Amino acid sequence: MSDSANLDKLRPIDFCDVLDRIGGDTSFLKELLNIYFQEYAEKKRLLEQAITREDFTQVCELGHSLKGASANLSLVRLQKVAFALETAGRERQLQLAQEAARSLDTEVQTLKAFLEGNPPGKFV
Amino acid sequence: MKILIAEDDLISSRILQKNIENWGYETVLARSGEGAWQALQDEDLRLAILDWMMPGMDGIEVCRKIRRRKKYKYTYIILLSAKDRKQDIIAGLSSGADDYMTKPVNFLELRARLQTGKRIIDLEDKLLVIQNQLKDIASRDSLTKIWNRSEISKFLNEELERGQREKKPTGVVLLDVDHFKKINDFYGHSIGDQALLQVVSRLKRKIRKSDKIGRYGGDEIIIILPNCGLTEIKRIGDRLRLAVGKRGLKTELDSVQVTVSAGCATSELPGTASTDKLIRVADGALLKAKGQGRNCVVVAGQDRQMAREQINV
């Protein structure tokens, strides 16, 4: 089974896991998700610049940073894509970095759509 | 207790902050290694959570810098990292971290680990208090609680050096309780001790905050007077002598009439640059005061010949 097929099986966010980490506070989760989206917008801009300049160190750092932020919010799919970006940066693979950057954007849109239908407080 | 959270990732930092504050700690935030290092100049910040990967100086370098510093109290460090290989954990702990946690953080575990850190900081604080108490006990005379001979000699040494740097004289008054042996023999040592305590108490009331008083021998009291020259020391010596002898000392048995003899010297005299020599000159003046019938003050500088004789002993 391919990686993308594996990814499709996962939910964009593991609510149980993240709420367990932050003491079940759904309004705090909303605050954190807002920070995530704001940070992502800035990192996306930096990532585009880094890919254009073929600055693989920066690509790797951004991938690492997004991987950590995603892991903290149990954004399992985003975490995997960010890891792919970090690896592409470390291995200086331009094409893989470009693919990972596109996948990140897709996954962020998927997450936003998912959260519109499933806001954090819905299941609590 | 305050805890430093040094983490460049805003979400991670915010989650840590919220949890840690919920557990009753205060938090200080930094988003880079440099920011963490700056925050850690605050001596009250004794517990730190450092992310390994930070822009600029990383958590490992901050750990090393903390461990290199000498005068600060202990800082307990928990290093956070996504790196979970054995060699990473070993490298993290080898840099000076006390503990290592992998991300994402399990908060129940972090809480327990912070309690461990707090326990160690509390233990160090208790040890420091005891160390200071022991140091104080070792520096003071057990009866009178004024500085003991070795401590007062250290003060005099420091004061002489400072006086030389600032070109200011240092004065020494050596006092001896007249016929103290007779007091002990007649009333007993307990009354002798009570009398000595009252002598010290009266002397302490007559000296400045910057002056230092110590017990130099059995019934010999020494007073170090910073920035005190030959013109002032006689007046000070007389004031001290009168403070002791102007009225009887109350003891549990009787009122005991006690007088003191005083020998004074200052670093203005030639050949008195060292602690030993200055004390020797003051001691010579004290002997002379005793020879003159006691209950009087002799200043070494007023008889240069006597000073020279004492230096050459």
The verdict on B55 and B83 lying in the same domain is yes
Whether A123 is in a domain gets the answer no
Q: Do A69 and B9 touch (CB under 8 A)?
A: yes
Q: Which residues of chain B have pLDDT under 70?
A: 303-313
Residue range A38-54, pLDDT digits in tens: 999 999 999 999 999 99
Whether A103 is in a domain gets the answer yes
How many distinct structural domains can be found in chain A?
1
Residue range A9-27, pLDDT digits in tens: 678 999 998 988 888 889 9
ipTM of model over 0.95: no
Whether B144 is in a domain gets the answer no
Whether B39 is in a domain gets the answer yes
The verdict on B93 and B36 lying in the same domain is yes
Whether B10 is in a domain gets the answer yes
- Which of B138, B159, B185 finishes a domain? B138
Whether A124 is in a domain gets the answer no
Q: Which residues have a Cβ under 8 Å from the Cβ of B77 and sit 6 or more positions away?
A: B48, B49, B50, B63, B66, B96, B97, B98, B99
pLDDT of residue A1: 43
Residue range B77-130, pLDDT digits in tens: 999 988 888 999 999 999 999 999 998 788 889 999 999 999 999 999 999 999
Question: Angle CA(B123)–CA(B128)–CA(B129) in degrees, nearest 5?
Answer: 100
- Which mean pLDDT values do the consecutive 10-residue runs of chain A (124 residues) have? 57 90 89 95 96 96 90 93 96 96 96 91 63
The verdict on B112 and B13 lying in the same domain is yes
Whether B143 is in a domain gets the answer no
B5, B7, B9, B111: best to mutate for the A interface, most A CBs within 10 A = B9
The verdict on B206 and B239 lying in the same domain is yes
Domain hosting residue B219, numbered range: 149-311
Does residue B156 contact residue B278 with C-beta atoms inside 8 Å?
yes
- Which of B118, B138, B158 finishes a domain? B138
The verdict on B154 and B131 lying in the same domain is no
Q: How many CB atoms lie within 10 A of CB B28?
A: 18
CB pairs under 8 A between A and B: 47
| Distance between CA atoms of residues B91 and B29, nearest Å | 25
Q: Which residues have a Cβ under 8 Å from the Cβ of B283 and sit 6 or more positions away?
A: B174, B263, B310
Domain CATH code at residue A67: 1.20.120.160
The verdict on B178 and B132 lying in the same domain is no
Q: Å from B158 to nearest chain A CA? A: 55
Domain hosting residue A72, numbered range: 3-116
Whether A121 is in a domain gets the answer no
Domain CATH code at residue B178: 3.30.70.270
Q: In B, which residues are within 8 Å of A28 by CB distance? A: 18
Residue in B18, B20, B82 with CA at minimum distance from that of residue B51:
B82
Amino acid identity, position A55:
D
Residue in A9, A26, A41, A29 with CA at minimum distance from that of residue A105:
A41
Task: Give the chain B residue nearest A37 (alpha carbons).
Answer: B11
| Distance between CA atoms of residues B238 and B221, nearest Å | 15
Overall pTM surpassing 0.80 (yes/no): no
Domain CATH code at residue B113: 3.40.50.2300
The verdict on B162 and B101 lying in the same domain is no
Which tokens sit at B277?
């020599």
Residue range B294-305, pLDDT digits in tens: 999 999 977 554
How many distinct structural domains can be found in chain B?
2
| Distance between CA atoms of residues B101 and B291, nearest Å | 76
